Structures are given as structure tokens and as C-alpha cells.
Structure 1
């Protein structure tokens, strides 16, 4: 029986504020969904209310979830509903673009449910939304968090051809724990192959995320980071798994923020990731990471230039020496 108790540093701020209310109303008017709400993200209050804890006073942000609010998969960590799939809304790409203009975003994050029920698993709809945003708002930066599309390269290529600025896909956990954490249709090597394809076929930043707290060992976390970096991943986030309900997997351990800081140093200083956001409340879409990408891309740097800068700062990958005990 799990005995892990939630520590004091995992307290969440309740949603509030003018920006929060405005984003919620805009989404409701256009029948749009966000992963912030559907996945019960602990940072919803901060992101929608602006600033995301950065103290910069910026407006709110949201991660749009495409293709409905029900997923064809049943991952045991995720709070998104499964089954009962609805037809795609042909107006969704335009509605998302209009909502972005109304909210006033200059950096947009798009994700989606898995749609294994569709012939192209929704890749075309995803790509259409990216293009709609880029056509209407040429100066906007678009980050996408995509499904694995069952590893089909032609479907991943549709996303690449739509030319977002960042393509993320999450490995979620270490190789040993892929199941029971993820749906059996997902897989460690399948996810790595998606990230590797993006790196191989484009000059687009790649990103992934790892949840801690499922019972992984430190050497497994290190190996996962090393595998991702070897496949060309530029940006990684690490955060604490929080159990959405009693029907989901139990939390096996809560790591102290100091441990997350150690992982950040390992990722950036030892393994050579361009950026690592690491902390108990960090999630895949995290404003600190968005601000990093925004700063690099607004300077007009390519992925290779940013990588060269990182190497010049002494962040070239080195042998494994700093795994936390």
C-alpha cells in the first residue's frame, strides 16, 4: 500500500483574476477545450491569471486541446475522459485562430487527444490548425505537443510540413514503467522514434516531458534523459506526477524541489539540453520554457545556432557522472 503523502511545497493557487475569466469566456464562446482544464493541470490558476509565477506581469496563456475532449486511449495517469469519440469540428482551426487573437497571445501551445479512430489519427486536422494560425498571425510562435500517431512517419511528416516552431512529444516515464503508466498502444521506442524523426527531417526545436513519482529509479531517469538527448531532443521538462483521482495510479514518491534542481543541472550542464524546466509543479506546457524558446526564436536563431551557443557555454554532453543518489 502506498504511503506517500503530499508535501507542503505542492500547494496550488486557486484560479482567479481578470485574465483567467477572460480566457475561460473566450473558450466557452467558441466551444474550445484546453488541456489545462481537461487534464486538471495544477498550474491553471497561475497560467490563466498571467505571469505563471515569473513576476513579469504578462497576460494569461492557455494550451489548446484539439479534436475534442475525449481520448481514444486510456493512460492510467491522465484525467482526460476516454471513449465516446465525436466527429471532428471543421470550424475548430478557425475558432482557435480567432480565440488567439482575442486573448492576445504571441506564443501558442496546441495539443490534442489521441484519435486512433480516425484514418489519419487527426494529423491533418492538427496540421490545418497550425497553418490557420500561421496564416492569420505570421508573427506568432506555435508550439505543438503531438500524439505518437502510432509511429507512422507519414503522419508525423504532416506536422513537420505545417512548420510549427516547436514539436513536443512526451515519453512520460522511464522505459520500465511505460505500462502501466501509458496505454499499451504507446511505447518508449515508438515515442523516441517520433522525436528522432522531427530532429532528422527538420530544423524545428524538439521537446519532451518526464513525470516523476511512479516508482522510477534515478539511474532510469538519467537513462531516459540520455536517450532523449541522443535522439536530438532540445528541451525537456520534469515534474511531479499528481494523482487525479482514486481510479488513477497511486503516487509512489514525492521528490523535494532540490532533487529537481539537480536534474536540471544534469540535463543542461552534463547532457547538453538547450533548456530544462524541472520542478514539482512543472508540466509539459510551462511558461518558463515558452519564454526561453520565445527569446531564442525572436533573435532569429536556428536550432543549430542555439545548440552551438549551448556548446560554447560549456554545455556539451559528457559522460554520466552526476546522477543523484
Structure 2
């Protein structure tokens, strides 16, 4: 079972969050492959509770541009500080790992690199190109930082033609000073809006954590804001505290509420909504490409 002391602090884990750990399956072989290719994953760096399940099914979300973030969001377990130099061979190794794992839907994210002139956009583009070469039929999804709102950076990513461009708003605007003090809600919406303007054929996606003290009305308002910038895909999941040093959980949102959010999201016009307690940005990400985009994986 998932270790509740790591994810909830003093709050007891409700029964719907009891998650059975998978049989070993391919967990160790997936870890060895990633280690052999010297690759980071958000699964490991962010202490994702779905890591065992995903690794057992030989899938992972690659995290490029190092494992040290220039920002310090209070919900996130990824290390923060001064990042190292950009590894120019990393795109090739990501593509090699995806090929060896047999991935047909590849998700690539990164730490935030405010120290780089383009925020790492060129490295995202290089990774997309490497994946296209190694896996011509794969569906490629990128989950990027906000690039400080740079349209030039977004243009670099758009020209590389990912199938899905994901940028998470993470929480409701009222909670940004506490949850994402170095980010800006309006800027995140603008990033999604500009990507759609740059290339309308690229699906856009965003995600929310709940259980941080937001209200239902605030979540619905965020949904409306996302649809106003033509966001296509929405993910909603329960915030789980990575360690006692991170933000406390204010509420365990019930499965019924998640189902209600999913219904409301569909009513607002999202092409696809994933709303369940253990949903994360890239958890079962291929479901969209299979169900909506019609891609055979």
C-alpha cells in the first residue's frame, strides 16, 4: 500500500486512497534502463505515488534539463537550487529509452530553468525531434514550465510539433501566493492561449491539484478560464504531501466530487477530462490519444 505517513502527515488516509502496490513486474528493469541511460523522471524526482504502477507497465515521464529547479513551489518534491549545464546528448538518450520501453505515447517534462535564455525551449524541441526520428509513429506530449511567458520560447516548441502541449495551472488563483509564489496564474493561461494561436492543431492540456483549500466554485471558475483559452484536456487529482516540509493537505476530496468535476468539465466543453484521486498530469496519458485522437497504441 502507499505509505500514508509520507503523503498525508498526521491526517489518516481515507479508504478511497488506499492504493495497492503492484507486483514487481518490470519495475526494476525500468529503473535499471533509466539509470543506465542517466535519465531523470518526474516519477522519481517528484515522488509520484503512481511510480510503481507505471514502472511495472514499462512507462515513465522523462524529466529533461536536469533534476534541479530554479523555482521552489511549496507542493513539489523536486529539488530546487542552481541547476547544472544542459546535457546536449540527453534528447538522444530520451529517445533511446522510449524506444527500448516500446512507448507509443511519450511524455516529456522538465524542471523550470529560468537561468536559460529560452527557458529550455530549444532542448524540448530537440527532444521532440529525436523522438520523431526514433519512434515515427509515437504520440508526443510535452509538459513545460511557463518560459516566463516568452512567445519566442513557445514558438520554438510549437515548431517542433508535439501532439499535446501541457502546462499546468496547478491550483486556483487565490492560492498562488502560498502554493506557487514564483508563478502567475494569468501568465499560465496566456501560455496555453499563445500555444493555440501558434498552432491550432496542437492539443493543449492543463491540470489542477485539489485538497489545498480551494472551493468547488473556484475550481469551476478555473475550468471556465481554461476553456476561454481553448484548452482541450483537463486533469484533476488529489494533492498528496510529499514530505512534512511541504504544504499540508486541507481536504481529502471524495471520489464523488471528482466525478462531479469530470461531468462539469465535459459540460464546459473539454475534449477529455481525467478527474480521480490519483490522477496526475501524465498518469494514463495515453487514454486521450486512444479515445479522442484515435491513435492506435
TM-score between both structures, scaled by the size of structure 2:
0.93
Instruction: Name the CA distance, whole Å, in 2 between partners of 1:272 and 1:246.
Output: 38
Partner SS, residue 292 of structure 2: helix
Match of 1:57 in 2: none
Conserved? CA contact 1:208–1:233, under 8 Å: yes
Aligned pairs (5 A) from 1:50-89:
50=57, 60-89=58-87
Match of 1:304 in 2: none
Q: 2:272 aligns with which of 261, 272, 275?
A: 275
Q: Are 2:196 and 1:196 aligned?
A: no
Instruction: Name the CA distance, whole Å, in 2 between partners of 1:297 and 1:265.
Output: 20
Match of 2:45 in 1: 38
Q: 1:293 aligns with which of 285, 289, 294?
A: 289
Distance 1:103 1:299, change over 3 A: closer
Instruction: Name the CA distance, whole Å, in 1 between partners of 2:268 and 2:291.
Output: 22
Match of 1:17 in 2: 24
Q: CA deviation at 1:294?
A: 3.2
Q: CA deviation at 1:225?
A: 0.6
Match of 1:26 in 2: 33
Gap regions ≥5 residues in structure 2: 1-8
Q: 1:206 aligns with which of 201, 204, 207?
A: 204
Instruction: Name the CA distance, whole Å, in 2 between partners of 1:137 and 1:280.
Output: 32
Distance 1:196 1:19, change over 3 A: same
Instruction: Name the CA distance, whole Å, in 1 between partners of 2:275 and 2:233.
Output: 11
Q: Are 2:252 and 1:254 aligned?
A: yes
Partner SS, residue 210 of structure 1: strand
Q: Are 2:113 and 1:106 aligned?
A: no
Distance 1:218 1:297, change over 3 A: closer
Conserved? CA contact 1:67–1:89, under 8 Å: yes
Per-residue displacement from partner, 1:244-263 (whole Å, max 9, x unpaired)?
11111101111111110010
TM-score between both structures, scaled by the size of structure 1:
0.85
Q: Which has the higher contact order (CA 8 A, sep 6+)?
A: 2
Match of 1:320 in 2: none
Q: 2:130 aligns with which of 129, 132, 140?
A: 132
Conserved? CA contact 1:13–1:45, under 8 Å: no
Q: CA deviation at 1:6?
A: 2.5
Partner SS, residue 110 of structure 1: strand
Gap regions ≥5 residues in structure 1: 51-59, 301-325
Distance 1:101 1:299, change over 3 A: closer
Conserved? CA contact 2:40–2:63, under 8 Å: yes
User: Between Structure 1 and Structure 2, how many residues are aligned?
Assistant: 287
Partner SS, residue 95 of structure 1: helix
Conserved? CA contact 1:141–1:294, under 8 Å: no
Instruction: Name the CA distance, whole Å, in 1 between partners of 2:295 and 2:210.
Output: 33
Report the RMSD for the aligned CA atoms in angstroms.
1.6
Q: CA deviation at 1:13?
A: 3.2
Per-residue displacement from partner, 1:224-282 (whole Å, max 9, x unpaired)?
011001111000000000111111110111111111001000001x2010110001111
Distance 1:30 1:3, change over 3 A: closer
Match of 1:6 in 2: 13
Instruction: Name the CA distance, whole Å, in 2 between partners of 1:6 and 1:229.
Output: 33
Q: CA deviation at 1:213?
A: 0.8
Q: CA deviation at 1:148?
A: 0.2
Residues 108-117 or 16-25, more deviating: 16-25
Per-residue displacement from partner, 1:141-166 (whole Å, max 9, x unpaired)?
10010100000111011111110100
Match of 1:306 in 2: none
